């Protein structure tokens, strides 16, 4: 946003700008700040979600922090984040670069890739669950032995399936970001490189990738912070199972709150989730350097 302010015509009355932020602020305070404060307060209470709320000091925090389920959920969350980032980023960059070409068939393919993004997570999860059913799914139906594994019933496989489905759903979105990024790279850079005799691969590594630095940071921030909130997809696919193999932090919070009726400990986990999310966003911002908002067209 900060790059836009540089182009603001000086004559426009300054005093209107704060007003324009009001709708966003109202929504943000109403739906983010107020619940956040509420959750923080609830984490110091005992409440079953139905009866009266009893203040209970640090009981919930003690229960959560001594529960071996917490480090496990944190570990699974981290794994989902890291592995899905590592799978999605190279795929998205390659697809984005490919779709940025001007040929018509590439535009058509771009539309096809886009389809998963238009489906809701719930629909995707239900469809994959049906396809992967060990007895009535794709493998069993087509009698392909390799496909009729117990996909969602074995810890390692279930984790892999979650990563695959998440990537299938979100790679199109990130490809789109990269497509935009690549199209902004000035043609002159490539023309100069061609004159110097650089091939396609050399051009990709020496021009496209460095020029995409800030796009990569944006896309990675979205992926990493977004992966903290993966819930709907995992909830429908595996319900955190088998056992607790895919129980990420968000799912752990939900299960404690709405299945076990332990609102106190669930709120404590929610606070942890917020802190982890904030820390990650800040960290990525740092990695991007202090001038993350500066023009991406350096050298052009």
Residues that bind another protein (CB under 8 A): 15-16, 19-20, 22-23, 26-27, 30, 48-52, 129, 132-136, 150-153, 158, 238-239, 241-244, 255-256, 258-262
Tokens of 145: 């032995």
C-alpha 206 chain-centroid distance:
28
Q: Tell me the C-alpha distance between 172 and 96, whole Å.
A: 9
Residue 288 beta carbon to another protein: minimum distance, rounded to whole angstroms: 32
Closer residue to another protein in complex, CB, 30/160: 30
Helix (H) or strand (E) holding 188: helix 187-195
Residue 15 beta carbon to another protein: minimum distance, rounded to whole angstroms: 6
Who's near 136: CB < 8 A, 6+ residues apart?
Answer: 130
Q: Are strands 54-55 and 45-46 parallel, antiparallel or unpaired?
A: antiparallel
Residue 55 beta carbon to another protein: minimum distance, rounded to whole angstroms: 17
Strand intervals (E) in the chain: 45-46, 54-55
Closer residue to another protein in complex, CB, 120/259: 259
Closer residue to another protein in complex, CB, 133/288: 133
Closer residue to another protein in complex, CB, 174/256: 256
Residue 6 beta carbon to another protein: minimum distance, rounded to whole angstroms: 23
The total of other beta-carbon atoms located within 10 Å of residue 180's CB is 13
Residue 137 beta carbon to another protein: minimum distance, rounded to whole angstroms: 9
Is the torsion defined by CA of 250, 65, 220, 298 positive or negative? positive
Closer residue to another protein in complex, CB, 161/207: 161
């Amino acid at each position: 946003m900060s790059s836009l302010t540089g182009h603001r015509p000086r004559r426009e009355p300054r005093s209107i700008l704060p007003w324009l932020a009001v709708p966003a602020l109202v929504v943000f305070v109403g739906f983010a700040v107020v619940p956040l404060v509420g959750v923080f307060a609830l984490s110091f209470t005992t409440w079953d979600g139905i009866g009266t709320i009893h203040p209970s000091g640090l009981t919930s925090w003690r229960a959560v922090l001594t529960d071996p389920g917490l480090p496990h959920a944190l570990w699974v969350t981290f794994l989902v984040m890291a592995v899905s980032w590592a799978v999605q980023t190279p795929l998205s960059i390659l697809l984005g670069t490919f779709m940025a070409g001007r040929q018509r068939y590439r535009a058509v393919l771009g539309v096809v890739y886009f389809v998963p993004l238009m489906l809701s997570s719930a629909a995707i999860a239900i469809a994959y669950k049906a396809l992967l059913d060990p007895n009535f799914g794709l493998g069993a139906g087509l009698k392909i032995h390799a496909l009729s594994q117990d996909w969602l019933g074995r810890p390692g496989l279930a984790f892999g399936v979650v990563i695959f489905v998440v990537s299938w759903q979100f790679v199109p979105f990130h490809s789109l970001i990269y497509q935009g990024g690549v199209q902004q790279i000035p043609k002159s850079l490539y023309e100069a490189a061609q004159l110097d005799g650089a091939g396609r691969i050399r051009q990709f590594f020496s021009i496209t990738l460095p020029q995409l630095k800030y796009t990569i940071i944006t896309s990675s921030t979205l992926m990493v912070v977004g992966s903290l909130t993966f819930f709907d997809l995992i909830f429908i696919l595996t319900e955190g199972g088998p056992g607790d193999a895919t129980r990420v932090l968000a799912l752990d919070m939900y299960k404690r709150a709405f299945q076990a009726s332990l609102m106190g400990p669930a709120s404590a986990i929610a606070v942890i989730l917020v802190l982890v999310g904030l820390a990650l966003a800040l960290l990525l911002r740092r990695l991007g350097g202090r001038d993350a908002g500066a023009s991406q067209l350096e050298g052009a």
